[in-house]
């Protein structure tokens, strides 16, 4: 009996007329899918503020080595914090920069060990002597021209005559320096007639 009822129920379900209208189809229940749940927003923990880097002092140094006493200061190798390698540095007592005077004072104090004196080579002595002679000759030529012009136009005073003679003698002595026995070292330098009294004494 139960099997007959089941069979009749199946026949009723499957016996749907082929001419079902769209309206009957629309009456069927519409099953909607549930809306997707949006993901929870990401929460980031607050980062600590970045520390500002202090600017590097380009003249801060940590070490000094290879100190040599020069005529005008100390030549040394300095390790500046802003540089990777040691730099050759000439420290002078009257340096316009504070770090230069500080390095000079440290070299002079002997903290870096014994400080040998620099011994220039013959070529360096010769170059320095010739450069000074040329520089003094240019100055003497300028002074001679200035006073000689006054003498040539008969407008020279006794002082002008003495000056031109003194500067000419100075120029002669400069040209004789290479004839000195121990040139280029040591050198006996002539005195320049920079004032009237010296010029009158040399005249």
pLDDT in tens, 10-19: 555 455 555 5
Q: What is the pTM of this model?
A: 0.47
For residues 143 and 150, give the distance between their C-alpha atoms in angstroms, rounded to a whole number: 11
Same domain, yes or no: 129 and 166: yes
94 lies in some domain: yes
Q: Which domain holds residue 72?
A: 61-109
Number of domains in the chain: 2
Residue 151 lies in a domain: yes
Ranking 3-17, 68-82, 108-122 by mean pLDDT, the lowest is 3-17
Q: How far is CA 130 from the centre of its chain?
A: 33
Distance CA(196)–CA(51), nearest Å, equals 68
In a domain, 49, yes or no: no
Instruction: Confirm whether 1 is domain-assigned.
Output: no
Question: How high is the pLDDT of residue 176?
Answer: 96
Residues 169 and 195 in one domain: yes
Residues 101 and 171 in one domain: no
Residue 23 lies in a domain: no
Query: What average pLDDT does the segment 152-165 reach?
Result: 92
Same domain, 140 and 78: no
């Amino acid at each position: 009996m139960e099997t007959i009822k089941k069979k009749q129920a199946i026949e009723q379900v499957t016996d749907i007329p082929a001419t079902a209208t769209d309206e009957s189809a629309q009456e069927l229940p519409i099953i909607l899918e549930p809306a997707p749940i949006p993901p929870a927003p990401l929460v980031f923990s607050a980062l600590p503020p970045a520390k500002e880097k202090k600017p590097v002092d380009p003249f801060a140094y940590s070490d000094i080595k290879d100190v040599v006493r020069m005529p005008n200061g100390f030549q040394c190798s300095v390790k500046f914090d802003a540089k990777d390698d040691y730099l050759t540095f000439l420290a002078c007592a009257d340096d316009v920069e504070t770090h230069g005077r500080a390095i000079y004072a440290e070299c002079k104090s002997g903290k870096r060990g014994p400080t040998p004196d620099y011994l220039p080579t013959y070529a360096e002595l010769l170059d320095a002597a010739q450069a000074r002679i040329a520089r003094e000759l240019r100055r003497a030529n300028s002074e001679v021209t200035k006073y000689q012009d006054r003498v040539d136009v008969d407008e020279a005073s006794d002082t002008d005559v003495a000056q031109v003679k003194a500067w000419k003698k100075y120029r002669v002595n400069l040209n004789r320096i290479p004839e000195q026995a121990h040139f280029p070292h040591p050198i006996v330098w002539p005195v320049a007639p920079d004032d009237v009294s010296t010029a009158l004494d040399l005249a």
